[in-house]
Amino acid sequence: MNAQKKLNVLLVVLVVILLSIASFVGVFTSQKSDMKDAVPSYVLSADLVGYRQVTLQIKEETEETTENTTENKTTENTTSEENKTEEKKEEKKELTAEEKANNYRANADVIRSRFKSLKVENFTVTVDEVTGKMEITVPEDDRTDIILSDICQVGKFKITDKETGEELMNNDDVSSVVIGETSYAGSLTTYMSINFNAKGRGKFSDITAKYQNVLVPAGTPVNTTANSTENTAENTTTAVSTESTYVDKQVVIKLDDTDLLTTDFDSVVSNGQLPLTLGDLSGDADQKNSAKNLAAIMENKPMNDKYEVTGNTYVAAPIENNTAKVIIYIEIAIALFIVLILIVKFGYKGILASIINVGFVAILLLVIRLTNVKLSLDGIMAIEAGYILQAIYSFMICGLLKNKDISTKELKDGATKILKQFVLIVIPILILSVVCCLAEWAAIFSVGMIVFWSIVIALVYNFIITKFLAR
């Protein structure tokens, strides 16, 4: 073996070592005096980590007024609250059975849309169209408790006039809500950007033009509102300012009648975006996930009914950890047996092929983590299937290299021929894996994705390595 060949082999080995360290150990970076792996963790399916089963039921409205909280109120305020309650009862219309069923189905669709916005996978939402009861299952992970903490939010987003309470915008005007981070002066700031659709963009532009700090010159009539339980035309009077003053018109951003923010605007905003600063949440995963919850609620339609959680149960994984470990150990044993055969049959070339195969596994595991492919038990077995496909190619190449008298041209031609043969072998498997990727069953989808990536990586990886070593 000449010096160039030895150098090429050495470079391949070094690359495999680096890939193996990144895949099997990790790529750790310093973040705020803490070391964190830059490569995402494996996403495990419910059959390996279990899932959460949640029951939601319609929250019944009680006819009782909030007596305990109004003991210290005046009789006038109590009477006002009672009048409002009576008005709401009169406005409430009894729905038909079909209308209720439509509402309940819409509620379930809202939950599904929120989960999709939060990128929750393999969830189920079923609804009883008679009672409105919902049964929900979500995979168990670090975000589960945070996601479920806001699951009963109706989700009515509104921008209202602070003085009159007039609704200026709502969910129908929102296109999307994005949570992001920006760096300023060496520190990270988390922000929420509410993006409005075409209809909402025009409304928001008008609002930002109207609700600003306006300098009112002396002698200008200014509307003032008297203190009252209700803001009516009768309570509004007009006064003439004796000196220049600022009139601050403000809007209130609300979610389910809870005030999130009171603000005004310095200038007209025509791009249809409302940015809100949330502070530095980079070190607080729970707060960041809560912000994402809020974004998912605001960018989707509100539910038609108020729900409450009546059941929240963790269901253990049907497959015990020991079972998964035994399967992994068996796969490792099979891989080592293949390595042994390669070394015994092809000697030095078998050792090199085995090292190259380790690099293939390292790349496959990195891709699985970076693309968030959900690993099921079947998916773990699919990794072994991918390794076996790679081993088949190794045996074919080592068989070619066994001939010591082969010329460089014959080596290149033979490697190209073997690659074409390998392509013909894997094409039917590749087609089958694509079909599996279209399946809704999580286990089949996991197998399809892993086999798909195994074949793609094997083709590209072997083409590059073979061409490099054959130079």
Task: Give the mean pLDDT of the chain.
Answer: 82
CATH of residue 150? 3.30.70.3400
Give the mean pLDDT of 310-315. Answer: 91
Q: How far apart are CA 205 and CA 277, in angstroms?
A: 20
pLDDT tens for 420-429 read 999 999 999 9
pLDDT value at position 39? Answer: 83
Kindly report, residue by residue over 280-307, the tens digit of the pLDDT: 776 677 888 888 999 999 999 999 999 9
Range of the domain at 283: 156-226+233-290
Total domains, the chain: 3
What average pLDDT score do residues 136-163 get? 90
Instruction: Identify whether 77 is part of a domain.
Output: no
Query: For residue 29, what pLDDT is reported?
Result: 77
Q: Which residues pair with 137 in a beta bridge?
A: 53, 124
Same structural domain, 338 and 304? no
Closest by CA position to 377, among listed 434, 446, 455, 430 = 446
Query: Given this model, what pLDDT does residue 459 score?
Result: 92
pLDDT above 80 for 241: no
Q: What is the CATH number of the domain that holds 26?
A: 1.20.1640.10
Q: Is the per-residue pLDDT at 109 higher than 60?
A: yes
pTM, 2 dp:
0.65
In the predicted model, is pLDDT for residue 390 greater than 50? yes
Amino acid at 443: A
Whether 445 and 359 share a structural domain: yes
Q: Is the pLDDT of residue 168 over 80?
A: yes
286 and 358 co-located in one domain: no
